[in-house]
Amino acid sequence: MTIVDAQAPDLPIVFVNDAFLNMTGYRRDEVLGRNCRFLQGPDTEGPVVKALAQAINKGEATNQDLLNYRKDGTPFWNALQISPVRNAAGLIVYYIGSQVDVTARKAAEAALEAAAAEQARTAQQALADRTALLHEVDHRVKNNLQLITSLLVLQTRRTLDDATRAALQSMLSRVSAIATVHRRLFQSHDLERFDVATFIRDLMGDVSSGREEVDIRLDLERVDIAAAQAAPLALAVNELVDNAFKHGLTPGRPGRLRIQVRRLNGHYVIEVCDDGPGLPENGVFEPGFGLTITNLLAQQLRATLQFEAGEPGLRAILKLPAHG
C-alpha cells in the first residue's frame, strides 16, 4: 500500500507499508517523498500511464495492470488500484494506492495466448493443406472427366445409328454436368459448399448453345449446398433441363424456359418450367432412363420430385431439405 499527498507538488509518497518494500526491494527512505513513477521502466506501457494520469486529473478511482520494475531492475506486473480520499469539504487530500504482484497470472495468460495462437496456426495450416489436397483431387478428376468427354465426342461422331448417337449425346451431357461441378469446386475458395445458382448459369450457357429461339429466364436465389450433394444435384437438374429441351421445347420453334431456385420453409426448391405439351393425358410419364436416373438422384438427396401442369407446359419441382 502507498499513500500520496494530493495537495503537494508531483504527488509525493508519504506512506508505504512493509509489503510494498518487500515487493519492490526499496528501503523506506528511498521511497518517501518521491512520485510513484520511479517504478516505471523502458517497457512500461504509455497508454496505461496516460489512463492513470487522466483518472488522477479527474479525481476518479481506477484499476490498471502496469509493468513496473524492482530496485534490482527485474520487471513485475503490478495490479494497481488508486482511490482518492476527500476531506469534509470534498477536496482530495490523498490518493491511496494498492499494489498486487500479478506477474504469475500475466505469465499464465501469456502462455495461454501463445498456446491458442499456436493451435490456431496449426489448424490454419491443416486447413490449408486439406484445401490444397482437395484442389489437387478435384483438378485430377476434372482432367479425367475432360478425357471421358473427348472420348464420348469422338464416339458420337463415328456412330451412324441415330438411337445410339442420341444415347451417347445424353451421356455426354451428364458427364459435362459433372465436369461443370468440379470446375466450380476447383475455382471456389470454399470446397465445403457448392453454389447452385452459379452452376445453373454455367449449365444453361452450355446447353442453350444453338437454341436462340428459346426465351430462357433464370430466377436464382443464392443457395449453397454441401459439396457432397453437388454431383447428384447437378445431374438431377441436368436431366430436368435436358427433358425440357427434348420434350417441351420443339427445335426451331419459339419457346420459353424458366428455372427458379429459392429457399422455402426449410427446403431448397428448384423449378424447371417449359411451355411445351405438358403432362400426358393420364398425368404420368413413362418411366424412361432419364426419369429413372432423376428419381434415384432425388432419393440420394432425400428430395422429392414432382411434375405439375403449367399454364401452359410443365413444371418439374425438385425439393430438398436445407441443412443450414
Cell numbers describing residue 193: 459448399
Name the residue among 8, 77, 6, 4 with its Cα closest to residue 39: 77
Same domain, 107 and 51: no
For position 12, what pLDDT does the model report? 95
Residue 133 and residue 64 share a domain? no
Q: pLDDT higher for 236 or 284?
A: 236
Instruction: Work out the average pLDDT over 139-160.
Output: 86
- What phi, psi does 229 have (nearest 5°)? -90, -5
Is residue 250 scored above 80 in pLDDT? no
Q: Are residues 209 and 281 in the same domain?
A: yes
Expressed as residue numbers, the domain containing 223 is 192-324
Measured in whole angstroms, the distance separating CA 250 from the mean position of its chain's CA atoms is: 44
pLDDT at 182 over 90: no
Q: Are residues 209 and 296 in the same domain?
A: yes
Q: Of all residues in the chain, what percent carry a pLDDT higher than 70? A: 97
Quote the mean pLDDT of the chain: 88
202 and 254 both lie in a single domain? yes
Which of 45, 79, 101 is at the close of a domain? 101
Which of 21-35, 74-88, 146-160 is predicted with the least confidence, judged by mean pLDDT? Answer: 146-160
Q: Kindly provide the residue ranges of all beta strands, DSSP E only, lying in the chain, ordered along the sequence.
A: 2-5, 13-16, 62-69, 75-86, 92-101, 193-195, 214-220, 224-226, 255-264, 267-274, 304-309, 314-321
**Which of residues 312 and 121 earns the better pLDDT score?**
121
- Give percent above pLDDT 90 in the chain: 47
Q: Over 80: is that where the pLDDT of 248 sits?
A: no
Radius of gyration of the chain (CA): 38
Within this chain, do residues 184 and 235 fall inside the same structural domain, yes or no? no
150 and 278 share one domain? no
> What would the mean pLDDT of 97-110 be, rounded to a whole number?
91
CATH number, domain with residue 58: 3.30.450.20
Least confident of 5-9, 35-39, 160-164: 160-164
What CATH number is given to the structural domain containing 300? 3.30.565.10
Q: Please say if the pLDDT value at position 10 is more than 80.
A: yes
Query: Quick one: 224 exposed, middle or buried, by C-beta within 10 A (0-12, 13-18, 19+)?
Result: middle
Confidence of residue 147 (pLDDT cuts 50, 70, 90): confident
Judgement on whether residues 178 and 202 belong to the same structural domain of the protein: no
Residue 282 has pLDDT above 70, yes or no: yes
Task: Please check whether residues 197 and 314 belong to one and the same domain.
Answer: yes
Last residue of a domain, one of 74, 101, 128: 101
Distance CA 59, CA 186 (A): 63
Asked if 222 and 168 sit in the same domain, the reply is no
Last residue of a domain, one of 70, 101, 132: 101
| Residues 146 and 268 occupy one common structural domain | no
- Torsion over CA of 141, 143, 145 and 148, rounded to 10 degrees? -140
Q: How many residues does the chain have?
A: 324
* pLDDT for residue 189: 67
User: pLDDT by residue (tens digit) across 284-319?
Assistant: 777 778 888 889 999 999 999 999 888 788 899 999
Number of domains composing the chain: 3
In this prediction, residue 38 carries a pLDDT of: 94
Note whether 131 and 243 are same-domain residues. no
CA distance 273 to 315: 4
Q: What is the pLDDT of residue 60?
A: 92
* Across 201-216, average pLDDT: 81
**pLDDT given at position 287:** 73
Residue 157 has pLDDT above 70, yes or no: yes
DSSP state for residue 266 in the 8-state scheme? T
What confidence score (pLDDT) does residue 243 get? 85
